[in-house]
Amino acid sequence: MENRNISALGPRQRFVGTVLWDIPFGKGKRFGGSLPMIANAIIGNWQTSWIATMQTGQFLSPSYDGNQPNVRASNLRPDCGGNWTVSNPSMSEWFNPAAFAIPAAGDYGNCGRGIIVGPGLVTFNAGLFKSFNLTERLKMKFEARAMNAFNHLNPGNPSTDISNTQGVGQITSTATIFNSSAAGGDGERHIQVGLRLEF
């Protein structure tokens, strides 16, 4: 039984790119410098930001439930008897459960750790900002943020417990792609709008 494996805590490849753009339109900018005061207050001097995250899937280990004589361990690993991959992975069948079997009583399974690769993740977060000068020292800032702005579906990890014959190999949830108690933390698009006073 192979215990050495790539860490399941992180993906093999991960890319994060950030763009902050001061839109060149409005008073003092390259375009729209002659806008009337009211028009400039509405459509001028905006900023936008984008954060793109792309990563490959986590390394997952097959397991099974149950007590084995003379085998004391949690998350027992099964025997590998074939190729776990499928030609067209989907949420209803991410891997081939028939490639794994519960070992004979008293035996350890021969499957290694982290041999199943879960789905990757792609998400784009966007922001739109503008500051308004209320007085010489008092500013009001408008902020609008969209997490997973394109509402891209990011599947969660499949069930790798081969004891669960009804759900093994299936994905029944979406990935957690951001941490926010206000927005929930699940994978669908969330939009937050707010005003902030700065002094």
pLDDT of 9 above 50: yes
**H helices present in the chain, as ranges:** 37-43
User: Cα-flanking dihedrals φ and ψ of residue 172, to 5°?
Assistant: -120, 10
Across the range 19-46, mean pLDDT stands at 85
pLDDT tens-digit readout, 33-44: 788 878 888 888
Name the average pLDDT for the chain. Answer: 84
pLDDT of the residue at 67: 61
Q: What are the tens digits of pLDDT across the range 95-131? A: 999 999 988 877 888 888 889 999 999 999 999 999 8
Residues 188 and 178: beta-carbon distance below 8 Å: no
Q: How far is residue 159's CA from residue 118's CA, in Å, rounded to a whole number?
A: 10
pLDDT band at residue 146 using 50, 70 and 90 as cut-offs = very high
Residue 186 has a pLDDT of 58
Helix (H, G, I), strand (E, B) or coil at 143: strand
Q: Per this entry, what is the length of the chain?
A: 199
The proportion of the chain whose per-residue pLDDT surpasses 90, expressed as a percent, equals 44
Q: Lowest-confidence range among 63-72, 80-89, 126-135?
A: 63-72
The beta strands (E) that lie in 81-133 are given as: 100-101, 116-117, 121-133
Nearest-angstrom CA–CA distance, 127 and 191: 10
Q: What token pair was written down for 168? A: 């093994």
What pLDDT does residue 71 have? Answer: 58
CA separation for the pair 151, 124 (Å, rounded): 9
What are the tens digits of pLDDT across the range 149-193? Answer: 999 999 999 999 988 778 899 999 888 765 544 444 457 888 999
Of 126, 117, 98, give the one whose Cα is nearest residue 158.
117
As a whole number, mean pLDDT of residues 55-63 equals 92
Residue 98: DSSP 8-state: G
Residues 6+ apart with CB under 8 A from 112: 1, 2, 3, 4, 5, 61, 80
Q: Tell me the sheet residues that pair with 174.
A: 155
Percent of the chain at pLDDT > 70 equals 87
